[in-house]
Chains A and B, each alone.
Chain A
């Protein structure tokens, strides 16, 4: 396959960025999208040009590092991560636009790499169960109904890639935040901190500069792990319940 790539190049957060065009040849349909970028970078390197910077690591769709907007869609045309997108999803001769996540809370570091530290800070604000090592009771002391365990798992699958934010016209992080709130909220182990968790995480999310949610549903459509849109409505309910129970000034 022969393709034309138009890639966002930006040297650093303060530098102006712009799209640059590159032709690539000899692309196999079995290549992953990132292996296709490897091919381009190999050529740029040997030619002495700066290769395109992009985040990637496990390349099996679970670490959440890769983060490309491909032809205007977060992670591209398939419902998966950029690393698990294969070139068989494109046609010979295609022109493909590649951009970084676009969101006020995710500043560009270089080219296609963005800073997602805001996600870590949302988890730090309450996305955990406070159980120091050694303090745990016997695992079978509290049976968990299978339905609750499955629901927790469904939300815990979030890989923290940020596609939800990139896809959202408002740059909202509601799907990410609600995934953790609902994961821990579904389990008896998460119950004692249920109210403070949702209030603190939502407050942190707002403080990071993510946009508000208008339930456009783009986030759930882009999510490579299929976190459902109902996750957001469930978190809204949790937040409302908690804010009535724990009034904050």
Chain B
């Protein structure tokens, strides 16, 4: 590593093709795939074991459905209960092309909006399937007893979300994720009680076991006893969520982490578009260095809240004292047809721009107003309370300011990662037998996810797609002997895991895991955050290996590996962030275009919008791991747009 930029290099390998997506009209492909899929005889299913890692919307729904089909499911979560995965914190809603409003919605429109919203960096086949399945998800959840908001006539209510002009978002006040997750959790609980799912809570996956080129199990740590255990299966499903916590401050749960997908990457699963991260425009601004996480305020607030900053830079008057004509409702001004409901990437960048101009509000000028005064005047306080009551209460609890009286202050924060493990149409990674679903994969959102689409994708993958495709995999790969602990691949994975944990405890340095996490997070926010440029990314790529080296010299983990040890859990996750961060920066550096949430300062239109370069970058970038600090191999998957023709996105 003498040359400071040598590790920014990469080599280019064979292009990837999604071999599983059938030919033919896009609306027929899922039917075709399901028909060509082989089936496992119901009587034989119980002989197959499937491991599912994670119990969020994707994992919970997948585990429950696979068990209902008759498979033996072994499922894991690091939380104390499968009811707590971070899907639970999703507030706003879930999209579905039901067209209950008769406002011109259709499956094709949801497909179109999602491809366009993703800035033409997603796969048409997958997105169309997602739109098709969206309608079944609502049916399933209603039947489970999910208490969606309803009209007085007893029918389901919907609302609008960013990036679309129809009202297709179903919701349960500001707690849609909670209600959907509890639905999946209850379905899973039914299968646990029936003995079809063997549930391991407080157990974290630390490595993947690959035998003869196939995923055959995992190495896990019992977080209570510290015991390292191995679990074997005929297929492994990762539903472990995204990697936004690499930024330290994000809206993710504190313990959400990248270890399951990163360890799978190290074992041969390609990692696609790691630089595609979503910075959500409406989060509560940070208050100080003690900040441990950031809290989202649902995008649904942009239905009725108006975003503004003072017209003049350096205006420190309280909001109420700034007259109407000295306010800049900048989203309504720049994007008159979508106004406050532009997609997330655009709203976030606009907020950054006005703050960079010195027009930000609140401490440090890192905030913009989200003002409900007009909505309260128009609808009355009661109606606003009905729609957003719990969000307003949450805001007040955190900030000690009453948003019914003074405008909310919001600022963008890391929220979601569109990148993830590369998967084909079957949601299978490049390791046969290893599947990735939900936020853990890269498949459906391209370079920017639309609001209320994460819940849709998690449940589409878990309830409907994966159970069909795993079936096919198991039917085509029957009868493998279970590898024993003495198998060299198993023994090696266990030994490496033990050695890593032992080394973490043994360094006995002088810095906590948190201090390293903050350091890498700040670096990523600075250089690989809302806007990126080659110079900054090079700086980050120089710095990350240094932090990694320092980590292994100075990390302090009290206690031992053979006991309940939260410091060790954290430190071990940071080991993986320190590698993932590097790949994210490299991916961001190599993609010398702007698209969706990835904004390269060198590639913008004259009016400052993201400028895509389709000719050069109209592909998904799937990276192959070759070793820590070593040049990875880039495999391109060319994206073909036969239905939604790529254009410069316009929300003006």
Contact surface of A with B, Cβ cutoff 8 Å? 11-12, 28, 30-32, 34-35, 38-39, 42, 44-46, 48-51, 53, 55-65, 78, 80, 84, 86, 88, 109-110, 113, 115-117, 119-120, 123-125, 127-140, 142-146, 149-150, 152-153, 156-157, 159-160, 183-184, 187, 189-190
Extra 7 A-B pairs, beta carbons < 8 Å, given A55-B80, A117-B80, A149-B147: A35-B291, A60-B295, A123-B185, A133-B463, A134-B140, A140-B100, A183-B145
Residue of A nearest to B287 (CB): A30
- The CA-CA distance from A71 to B155 in the complex, in Å, is 46
- Report A-chain residues with C-beta under 8 Å of the C-beta of B138: 139
- Report B-chain residues with C-beta under 8 Å of the C-beta of A144: 150, 154
- Report A-chain residues with C-beta under 8 Å of the C-beta of B143: 129, 131, 135-137, 189
B364 contacts A by Cβ under 8 Å: no
Partner of B80, one of A116, A127, A145: A116
B418 contacts A by Cβ under 8 Å: no
Asked, given contacts A146-B150, A146-B151, whether A45 binds B145 with beta carbons under 8 Å apart, the answer is no
Residue of A nearest to B146 (CB): A156
Partner of B556, one of A45, A139, A143: A45
- The CA-CA distance from A68 to B89 in the complex, in Å, is 20
A153/B147 in contact, CB under 8 A: yes
- Per-position contact with A for B555-573: 1 when CB-CB < 8 Å, else 0? 0101100011011000000
B290 contacts A by Cβ under 8 Å: yes
- The CA-CA distance from A128 to B152 in the complex, in Å, is 26
- The CA-CA distance from A129 to B511 in the complex, in Å, is 49
Partner of B398, one of A86, A129, A183: A86
- Report B-chain residues with C-beta under 8 Å of the C-beta of A142: 142
- Report A-chain residues with C-beta under 8 Å of the C-beta of B83: 64, 120, 123, 160
Partner of A63, one of B89, B511, B558: B89
- Report A-chain residues with C-beta under 8 Å of the C-beta of B512: 42, 45-46
A189/B145 in contact, CB under 8 A: yes
Asked, given contacts A30-B287, A113-B564, whether A130 binds B175 with beta carbons under 8 Å apart, the answer is no
- Report A-chain residues with C-beta under 8 Å of the C-beta of B581: none
A-contacting residues, B162-210, CB 8 Å: 172-173, 175, 178-179, 182, 185-187, 189-190, 192-193, 199, 201
- Report B-chain residues with C-beta under 8 Å of the C-beta of A183: 145, 147
A65/B65 in contact, CB under 8 A: no
B292/A131 in contact, CB under 8 A: no
B154/A145 in contact, CB under 8 A: yes
Partner of A53, one of B68, B295, B564: B564
A187/B558 in contact, CB under 8 A: no
Partner of A65, one of B79, B136, B182, B508: B79
A82 to chain B, nearest CB (A): 12
| 13 A-B pairs in the complex with CB atoms less than 8 angstroms apart | A11-B563, A50-B559, A58-B253, A58-B254, A63-B253, A132-B68, A133-B68, A136-B144, A137-B139, A139-B156, A144-B150, A146-B154, A150-B147
A-contacting residues, B54-113, CB 8 Å: 61, 64-65, 68, 79-86, 88-89, 98, 100
B64/A133 in contact, CB under 8 A: yes
A146/B152 in contact, CB under 8 A: yes
Interface of A is mostly: loop
- Per-position contact with A for B120-156: 1 when CB-CB < 8 Å, else 0? 0000000000000000101110111101111111111
- Report B-chain residues with C-beta under 8 Å of the C-beta of A120: 81-83, 189, 192, 199, 201
- Size band of the interface chain B makes with A: 35 or more
- The CA-CA distance from A140 to B135 in the complex, in Å, is 11
B144/A131 in contact, CB under 8 A: yes
Residue of B nearest to A115 (CB): B80
B293 contacts A by Cβ under 8 Å: yes
Asked, given contacts A51-B567, A57-B86, A60-B394, whether A123 binds B80 with beta carbons under 8 Å apart, the answer is no
- Report B-chain residues with C-beta under 8 Å of the C-beta of A61: 394, 397
Asked, given contacts A131-B143, A189-B143, whether A59 binds B293 with beta carbons under 8 Å apart, the answer is yes
A65/B398 in contact, CB under 8 A: no
B155/A59 in contact, CB under 8 A: no
Asked, given contacts A12-B564, A30-B287, A63-B253, whether A129 binds B89 with beta carbons under 8 Å apart, the answer is no
Partner of B179, one of A117, A127, A156, A184: A156
- Report A-chain residues with C-beta under 8 Å of the C-beta of B156: 139-140
B142/A139 in contact, CB under 8 A: yes
A219 to chain B, nearest CB (A): 19
- Report B-chain residues with C-beta under 8 Å of the C-beta of A150: 147
- The CA-CA distance from A209 to B149 in the complex, in Å, is 36
B648 to chain A, nearest CB (A): 36
B564/A110 in contact, CB under 8 A: yes
A149/B149 in contact, CB under 8 A: yes
A35 to chain B, nearest CB (A): 5
- The CA-CA distance from A156 to B567 in the complex, in Å, is 34
Asked, given contacts A139-B98, A149-B147, A153-B172, whether A86 binds B189 with beta carbons under 8 Å apart, the answer is no
B12 contacts A by Cβ under 8 Å: no
- Report A-chain residues with C-beta under 8 Å of the C-beta of B186: 123, 127-129
Asked, given contacts A117-B201, A143-B155, A153-B147, whether A56 binds B173 with beta carbons under 8 Å apart, the answer is no
A49 to chain B, nearest CB (A): 6
- Report B-chain residues with C-beta under 8 Å of the C-beta of A59: 253-254, 292-293, 295
